[in-house]
Amino acid sequence: MPIEGEYEPSAAAWVRDQVAEYESSGGARGTTLRDTGLPVVIITNRGARSGKLRKTPLMRVEHDGRYAAVASQGGAPTHPFWYYNFRADPRVDLQDGPVKREFVAREVTGDERSEWWKRAVAAYPPYAEYQERTSREIPVFVLEPADGA
Ligand code: F42
């Protein structure tokens, strides 16, 4: 069952515009990071305080049907809000192009984080620069299909 609730668009115009284009085109347009051609997914998550639905575009990092969500926020010194949302309620919906499915997010550490970090940097090399920019260890969540597939 997809998570339900009132959608609260991002405070950042470029983000909410990308979500609008992605969703209104059924995942046919707005699916890359600006003109990089690198693929983006949209993750719907529940606000930790507001309880509202938040829709967060992230770089697509996929392996064997599972995805990584990398809380880089461009190498900022603080975690993005969605990091706290995922921790408060790990049930998320992920849209990858035309396909939308339910997942459960769990933060990974140690060797598992290292393995997914390599995949993330391979998918989006700037993640490595972002990590050099901050003393904050950039959190990584792995999203497992909710139906256990
Ligand atoms: N961000 C990343 O961190 N990693 C990526 O790989 C990434 C890729 C990407 C690709 C395309 C694109 O358009 C954006 C991309 N972003 C990426 C940016 C990402 O989508 C987010 O905008 C960014 O990470 C910041 O996330 P944020 O959750 O901090 O969003 C801000 C802008 C926001 O919406 N703030 C809201 C506000 O009102 O200021 C609050 C959001 C929120 O979730 N609030 C919680 C609630 O209860 O509703 C409260 C949370 C709390 O604990 O207070």
Atom 35, ligand 1: residue with shortest CA distance: 11
Using CA atoms, how far apart are residues 92 and 102, in angstroms rounded to an integer?
A: 6
Residue 104 has pLDDT above 90, yes or no: yes
Query: Which pLDDT tens digit goes with each residue over 119-128?
Result: 999 999 999 9
Paired strand residues for 5 = none
What's the predicted TM-score (pTM) here?
Answer: 0.96
Residue 3 has pLDDT above 90, yes or no: no
Neighbours of 102 (CB within 10 A): 16
Residue 140 has pLDDT above 90, yes or no: yes
Residue 102 has pLDDT above 80, yes or no: yes
Mean pLDDT of all residues belonging to the chain: 96
Q: In what order do the strands lie in the sheet with 66-70?
A: 53-59, 40-46, 91-96, 99-108, 140-145, 66-70, 62-63
| Ligand 1 mean position, distance from CA 134 (Å) | 18
Using CA atoms, how far apart are residues 20 and 72, in angstroms rounded to an integer?
A: 22
| Ligand 1 mean position, distance from CA 80 (Å) | 5
pLDDT for 132: 97
15 lines ligand 1 (CB under 6 A): yes
Residue 149 has pLDDT above 80, yes or no: no
Query: Which pLDDT tens digit goes with each residue over 24-40?
Result: 999 999 999 998 999 99
- Looking at this protein, which amino acid is placed at residue 121? V
The answer to whether the beta carbons of residues 67 and 61 sit under 8 Å apart is yes
Q: What value does the mean pLDDT take over residues 73-101?
A: 97
| Ligand 1 mean position, distance from CA 92 (Å) | 14
